[in-house]
Structure 1
Amino acid sequence: MSNEHRKISVKSASYDKKVYERELHRLQTELVTMQQWIQRTGGRLVVLFEGRDAAGKGSAIKRITEHLNPRVCRVVALPSPTERERSQWYFQRYVAHLPSAGEIVLFDRSWYNRAGVERVMGFCTDAEYERFLQQAPVFERLLVGDGILLRKYWFSVSDREQEARFRSRAADPVRRWKLSPMDLESINRWEDYSRAKDEMFARTDLPDVPWFTVESEDKKRSRVNVIAHLLSSVDYDRIAPDSIEVPERPAAAHYRRPPRAQFRAVPDHTAGLR
């Protein structure tokens, strides 16, 4: 029985915070090493993050990119397509965001929107949906055949945990923006999304472009697990970074800083805090 079944919600013992932070830092250091290898060798890495709303995709992406060079690693989270984009080949707007040599691209939701939200909410026709399921494996094999490293992750969370996270967001003024009417509607359409996900896996989980499921009842565990798996799936070499020598600052010569009173200073807000 699927861990996402309506009646099942098993949350593992809390992950020790110190263990989590220590391992996360080690893995993030390895991500920097992998980034250097991709940059030096001209590799191209694409990682897809899919899954239930509030399953932890965004926080995992945040931890992956936290210490990476944003000029090398970028996140793509596309809005709803424009009228012009709707008239294009479905994959066309995603192709524009694929990496060049030496780049990493993380898709926060991807072309699989068509197999998920578009299918469930009726935003595409049956013919468009079927065409997508036929073309997606071909498209992805073309990417892999051209040398792109493609990884696909599905973040799995139970219905009870998802609802708890929705309620937590609704009560938090700095995270309330994360809840959209589409997110809330996913509660009513839980089983529809389950069926759509099962069909998507049946048609697009192939040996050369497989799906990897990330159990995400515990976000800390899921972050560590997905980063560790991503690193293990890329056969990168350790490349020694260029040595950096910070020069001695030369003695001041003929420059004198203008008086501070000439500039508009930001008030010291912290001075009044207790």
Structure 2
Amino acid sequence: MNSEQMRENFDRIREDYIDQFDEELEMEFGEYDEENRPHGDGQDNSAEFRKAYFKELYRLQVELVKLQDWVVESGHKLVVIFEGRDSAGKGGVIKRITQRLNPRICRVAALPAPNSRERTQWYFQRYVEHLPAAGEIVLFDRSWYNRAGVERVMNFCSEEEYQEFFRSVPEFEKMLIRSGIQIIKYWFSISDEEQAFRFECRNHDPLKQWKLSPMDLESRKRWEDYTKAKEVMFKHTHISQAPWHVVPADDKKKARLNCISHFLEQVPYQFVGRKIVELPERIHHEDYKREPVPEEIVIPQRF
């Protein structure tokens, strides 16, 4: 690796590190002269683009709040499925969607591997309990499509279970839709080279090393197997009632904006007006006396 490539990789790693922060903090880090901004391959990090990114993200998040209000008002039930290879950016998009929303209305379902009891249940059973009631949005950070992906590639399910999944999942989703649940499905697509770079970032970043699991390392070895599994999954589960939508995700920021923008277009939400409330006068009692807080229970004031 020559010095120019090392510099490019350093710039990309630096950008990836900054990207971990909330958008407000990232904007503070972004106040640099254009000549000092990094320009690694694969990501648009120009000052002009970053400024446009923050502005558009804020606009989209305002629309997400409007969508949330409409979901509550109308009793809509919404499921959004996020699938894709490890490090494809699903979590980053989910974070930006939920950032301004009420967690009691919009919640994330990220289920761990099934335990011994769950492995004996009907396959969809553990996902059903996370489905939304009226006025709720559920974002599945991976979903029942684990069976078509990691379980297939890693031989965690039998051939019979795999084939039964493809027979069942279209009917399962059609049943949910008939019950009034809207389903939106996203696949985040990244290149082989971009995944390798993101894994290297995790490997050297103490804040992200926990994300690099033995399963991730195995997935790198089986890149082609995962590709074949994805292609079979699309073939069997891309139904008109709940089609797949592919999000090109080599550029994280563009993927976030494109995905959120598309998501908003899939829901027929309308603006729900909110009344401006009048704050009540606080009641004062002349005989009220606030007791002092004991010093020993106050945390140290180090800052």
User: 1:223 corresponds to which residue?
Assistant: 256
Q: Secondary structure at the match of 2:79?
A: strand
Per-residue CA distance 1:10-36 (angstroms, 9 max, x = gap)? 835436111111111111111111011
How many Å separate the matches in 2 of 1:90 and 1:243? 47
Deviation at 1:262, TM superposition (A): 4.1
| 1:130 and 2:178 correspond | no
| 1:14 and 2:45 correspond | yes
Deviation at 1:260, TM superposition (A): 4.1
Once the two structures are superposed, the pairs formed by residues 1-274 of structure 1 within 5 Å of their partners are: 11=42, 13-14=44-45, 16-251=49-284, 253-270=286-303
Deviation at 1:255, TM superposition (A): 2.5
Deviation at 1:180, TM superposition (A): 0.7
Report the count of equivalent residues.
Answer: 261
Q: Secondary structure at the match of 1:236?
A: coil
Worse-matched range after superposition: 120-129 or 248-257: 248-257
Worse-matched range after superposition: 115-124 or 259-268: 259-268
Q: Give 1:11's aligned amino acid.
A: G
Instruction: Give unmatched runs, 5+ long, in structure 2.
Output: 1-40
Task: Using the aligned pairs only, state the percent identity.
Answer: 54
User: 2:31 corresponds to which residue?
Assistant: none
Deviation at 1:252, TM superposition (A): 5.7
Worse-matched range after superposition: 110-119 or 129-138: 129-138
Per-residue CA distance 1:14-69 (angstroms, 9 max, x = gap)? 36111111111111111111011111111100000000100000011010001111
* Change in 2 beyond 3 A, CA 1:159/1:259: same
How many Å separate the matches in 1 of 2:275 and 2:75? 17
After TM superposition, the score normalised by the length of structure 2 is 0.83
Q: Secondary structure at the match of 1:46?
A: strand
Q: Secondary structure at the match of 2:242?
A: coil
Q: Give 1:126's aligned amino acid.
A: E
Instruction: Give unmatched runs, 5+ long, in structure 1.
Output: 1-9
* Change in 2 beyond 3 A, CA 1:261/1:92: closer
User: 1:6 corresponds to which residue?
Assistant: none
Deviation at 1:267, TM superposition (A): 1.2
* Change in 2 beyond 3 A, CA 1:263/1:193: same
* Change in 2 beyond 3 A, CA 1:252/1:164: farther
After TM superposition, the score normalised by the length of structure 1 is 0.91
Q: Does the aligned pair in 1 maintain the 2:43–2:252 contact within 8 Å?
A: no
Per-residue CA distance 1:72-109 (angstroms, 9 max, x = gap)? 11100001111111111111111111000100000000
